[in-house]
Amino acid sequence: IDSRLPDVGTTIFTVMSRLAQQCGAINLSQGFPDFQPDPALAAAVGEAIAAGANQYPPMAGVPALREAIATKLQLEYGAAYDAESEITVTAGATQALFTAIAALVSPGDEVIVFEPAYDSYGPAVRLQGGVVRPVALLAPEWRPDWAAFRAALTPRTRLVIVNTPHNPTGSAWPREDMETLAALLDGSRVCVLADEVYEHMVFDGRRHESVARHPALAQRAIGVSSFGKTYHVTGWKVGYVFAPAALMAEFRKVHQFNVFTVNSPAQAAFASVAGRAETWRELAAFYQAKRDRLRSGLAASRLRLLPCAATYFQLVDYRAISDLPDVAFAEWLTREAGVAAIPISVFSHDRADRGIVRLCFAKQDATLDAAVARLVCL
């Protein structure tokens, strides 16, 4: 077979979750909660089915849900997005990202991706014939290397993909970096694809810098979020995009032919909650407590904790325990210590090994405590 992606294997999330299951390990690898969502949200899906929400909803999404999303963007970021022409409901963030890239990238176009980078960006760009231009995020704060960004920006640059809060590092861009990006793109035709799926998980009083807050970026940006993260239902696969009408029109040209529309009972259920600020505003404290529980437990271990400002991921440097490369260490940790983690070298084009793995703390306290009990023995 003539593969379009000859160097691409199975995503690390599938590989590590499968291994965790085979070994009976505690799975802190793939990012998903091991607890139930709000029962009222689950009940709302059943009620929507009973009420007949079982056929194709409108292509761009259920109107009441788009209205709720517009309300949220206004309340949270002070941004006015028109529910009719500037918001589209997607089958999770993964489809949103893929569709946005397909809508914007032509063969030969260059796309700047900050590394480490979520693993779907590169293949999606390459499938459109685009060329990935990696730019480093610099440890320990994982802020962009702006000198390298300037060097990567060329007349062929079509798109910059920004992910803040950031998977896998748990960092979040400060306002200054958003302003630098806006200044560097001023006067260009470059678009921004802003992956903000962890928008509500920012800790220690930080503020999430959505593109929606920054008019100079918002006018050229497609923003992406995921209800899977915000409502603890990653398997429901519902998310959304927001963008100025002209950009959204391009997005919808592709969206209508790759999914057309999204699960209607789930959309109806989210419509009943998505405009309610308390729910998403509780999320930061909820996950900050889990972060702190994991960190204080691991303080007694030989793992070195990196800073964690946001998301539900904690990076740990394991070099006091092992000199294995991170992929081998993650496998060893799963098999021998019974805790599955994600090696982070897979998120960079050169697979640079830093002796760091990622632990997901979107878990019940008992799960975190059990994992800590195993990790402090190493």
Q: Which residues bind ligand GLN (CB under 6 A)?
A: 11, 13, 30-31, 167
CB of 57 to ligand PMP, least distance (A): 18
| Footprint of ligand PMP on 244-273 (CB under 6 A) | none
Interior/surface letters 144-156, b for 16+ CB within 10 angstroms, e for the rest: beeebbeebbeee
**Cα–Cα distance measured from residue 85 to residue 90, given in angstroms and rounded to the nearest whole number:** 14
Nearer to ligand GLN, 11 or 180 (CB): 11
- C-beta closer to ligand PMP: residue 86 or 196: 196
CA–CA gap between residue 352 and residue 328 (Å, rounded): 14
Q: Please name the residue ranges forming H helices in 245-364.
A: 245-258, 264-271, 277-281, 283-298, 326-332
Question: Which of 159, 162, 181, 197 contacts ligand PMP by CB under 6 A?
Answer: 197
Q: Is 167 in the site for ligand PMP (CB under 6 A)?
A: yes
Which among ligand GLN, ligand PMP, none contacts residue 355 (Cβ within 5 to 8 A by kind)?
none
Q: Considering the complex, what minimum distance in angstroms separates the CB of residue 165 from ligand PMP?
A: 8
The CA–CA distances, whole Å, from 137 to 3, 19, 117, 164, 242 equal 30, 29, 9, 12, 25
Round to whole Å and give the CA distance between 128 and 102: 6
For ligand PMP, the binding residues in 73-132 under the rule CB under 6 A are 92-94, 118
Report how far apart, in Å, the C-alpha atoms of 183 and of each of 79, 150, 188, 207, 216 are: 20, 11, 10, 20, 8
Which residue number, 119 or 145, has a Cβ lying nearer to ligand GLN? 119
Q: Of 203, 226, 176, give the one whose Cα is nearest residue 361.
A: 203
Q: Which of 15, 17, 26, 31 touches ligand PMP by CB under 6 A? A: 31
Q: Which does 11 bind (CB under 5 to 8 A by kind): ligand PMP, ligand GLN, none?
A: ligand GLN
88 or 94: whose CB is closer to ligand PMP? 94
Our CB check for ligand GLN shows the closer of 92 and 265 to be: 92
Query: Site size for ligand PMP, by CB under 6 A?
Result: 13
Choosing from 171, 226, 264, 314, the residue that interacts with ligand PMP (CB under 6 A) is: 226
Phi/psi for 356 (5° steps) reads -130, 135
Q: Kindly tell me which residue out of 33, 122, 239, 265 binds ligand PMP, with binding defined by CB under 6 A.
A: 239
Work out whether 195 is an interface residue with ligand PMP (CB under 6 A).
Answer: yes
Across 185-228, the runs of DSSP E, i.e. the strands, are 191-195, 221-226
Smallest gap from Cβ 228 to ligand PMP, in A, equals 4
Q: In the complex with ligand GLN, which residue's Cβ is closer, 88 or 226?
A: 226
- Output 83 or 344, the one with its CB closest to ligand GLN: 344
Strand bridging mode 221-226 / 191-195: parallel
Residues 6+ apart with CB under 8 A from 282: none
Establish if 347 lies at the interface with ligand PMP (CB under 6 A). no
Of residues 1, 266, 227, 245, the one with CA closest to residue 92: 227
163 sits near ligand PMP (criterion: CB under 6 A): yes
Q: Considering CB distances under 5 to 8 angstroms, the limit depending on partner class, which of ligand PMP, ligand GLN, none binds residue 180?
A: none
Integer Cα distance of 188 and 211 in angstroms: 17
- Residue 195 beta carbon to ligand PMP: minimum distance, rounded to whole angstroms: 5
Neighbours of 373 (CB within 10 A): 13
User: Which of the listed partners (ligand PMP, ligand GLN, none) does 93 bind, with a CB threshold of 5 to 8 Å by partner kind?
Assistant: ligand PMP
What are the beta bridge partners of residue 220?
A: none
| Pairwise CA distance, residues 47 & 129, whole Å | 44
Instruction: Point out which residues bind ligand PMP (CB under 6 A).
Output: 31, 92-94, 118, 163, 167, 195, 197, 226, 228, 234, 239
